[in-house]
Structure 1
């Protein structure tokens, strides 16, 4: 593993605009993001939350964000862009998160997170973060075994590089990107659903937790991982259980971070 400095752990215990009271808070956290959100629309509340995450990310040298969803990625990336002019994305997820309001059959904002980063869904939130669209050619999407038909078509016509969740494939894809800093994003549902009971959107058989750990270690050894984000997208009642905490700890350890989580 290449040593790029210690992680600054930022915890944002939210799923969209829903506060997750059971989300585990490590003792090693640099900051826990808990803004007071006024009543209002979900996008308006999420915009305030994302601004708070952006501020936290922009204050630290090397953020590792733990959250309960994927759209928080827009705040993490915008914060990283304050320090890095160019940024590539490695996105490990059972889903593509490449829907837009025009293609989504459910309207679920969480399924649009990667599309937001590439500028395909510019009107979902206000622009106070100053997020710059990441070029699709600088995006690597690993696994994405569970896609909507329109989402699959959008990815097929895009420049996003799709690969299997395999260490060798990740090393190869990152090598083709060159020396650009990388934002690494992982949704826990990329792991085989039998190993992550309680995931909000289980997606059937997939890579084992051990294989995903190998993927993270391979990415860390290959690229300059400038920031990372682990989305613990569990149902609220599972977010803090023993298996979920162990999973988060193992994923963080594969990135070179230590989580000191409280007992369940």
Structure 2
């Protein structure tokens, strides 16, 4: 079963954004309340977190597909709620390590990993009961598009940075988060935030398979920040999702 969270932040995305034909899906949707984006996302993520906790309690390893990286906070909160003290491996072309203060754009999709580490807790973590993760239990893989504030933070933090072909695994069970834009933009057209100079499609899938083969992955979380499909896009995206979900 695949848990599908068909949103980018608080925006409901069209079903065509997630080409998962033939797979058993558990869609998580709801009417979002009035309020700011954080209140709306928190209301959605409370359902996601509860679903993840229930799956873990029932002996299932969750696999989640969504439209952005924020969902990883709900997945980690669900693991913690079920008693799983997971470290995190974060595949992404970007750092996602901003705070509300350091971000010049205000784009909240650039903040989830930093929030997982304890920043801006009042926005999501406190609402979800998410405990902060020590920096030395987070690994950032494939990041190459960092803002100055992100690079400065990472230079003095204990977050490890790795290429996809040599990922240093932290201790304990793992939440494996994959933003598909970690793949070089030439190999995956249609991304909302494409970055050149990255690893190939095949290199990312091979790396994910090596990590999954350790048997330590407690949950898999895949973020798909791409534009609605155009002619020819679906086959590649379907293959990518199947490759990652079957790794």
User: Fold conserved (TM > 0.5)?
Assistant: yes
- 1:67 is matched with which residue? 66
Deviation at 1:160, TM superposition (A): 0.4
Taking a change above 3 Å as real, the CA distance of residues 26 and 35 of structure 1, as seen in their structure-2 partners, is: farther
TM-score normalised by structure 2 residue count: 0.91
Deviation at 1:62, TM superposition (A): 1.1
- 1:246 is matched with which residue? 239
Deviates more, 1:226-235 or 1:125-134: 125-134
- 2:28 is matched with which residue? 33
Matches within 5 A, 1:1-264: 8-21=1-14, 22-24=16-18, 25-60=20-55, 61-125=60-124, 127-166=126-165, 169-170=166-167, 173-174=168-169, 177-178=170-171, 180-237=172-229, 241-253=234-246, 255=247
Deviation string 1:34-64 (CA, Å, 9 cap, x unpaired) is 1111343211111111111111111112111
Deviation string 1:152-172 (CA, Å, 9 cap, x unpaired) is 001111110111111xx22xx
TM-score normalised by structure 1 residue count: 0.86
CA RMSD of aligned residues (A): 1.8
Deviation string 1:73-95 (CA, Å, 9 cap, x unpaired) is 11000001122342111111000
- Does the 8 A contact of 1:183 with 1:225 survive in 2? yes
Taking a change above 3 Å as real, the CA distance of residues 105 and 223 of structure 1, as seen in their structure-2 partners, is: farther
Q: 4+ residue stretches of structure 1 with deviation over 6 A? A: none
Equivalent residues, number: 240
Structure 2 regions of 5+ residues with no counterpart?
A: none
Taking a change above 3 Å as real, the CA distance of residues 55 and 154 of structure 1, as seen in their structure-2 partners, is: same
SS at match of 2:195: coil
Deviation at 1:126, TM superposition (A): 6.4
Deviation string 1:100-137 (CA, Å, 9 cap, x unpaired) is 11111111010001011111221323623110111110
Distance in 1 between the 2:213 and 2:21 partners?
A: 25
SS at match of 1:206: coil
Deviation string 1:15-51 (CA, Å, 9 cap, x unpaired) is 0001111223544334111111134321111111111
- Does the 8 A contact of 1:184 with 1:227 survive in 2? yes
Distance in 2 between the 1:209 and 1:242 partners?
A: 14
Distance in 2 between the 1:86 and 1:58 partners?
A: 12
SS at match of 1:124: coil
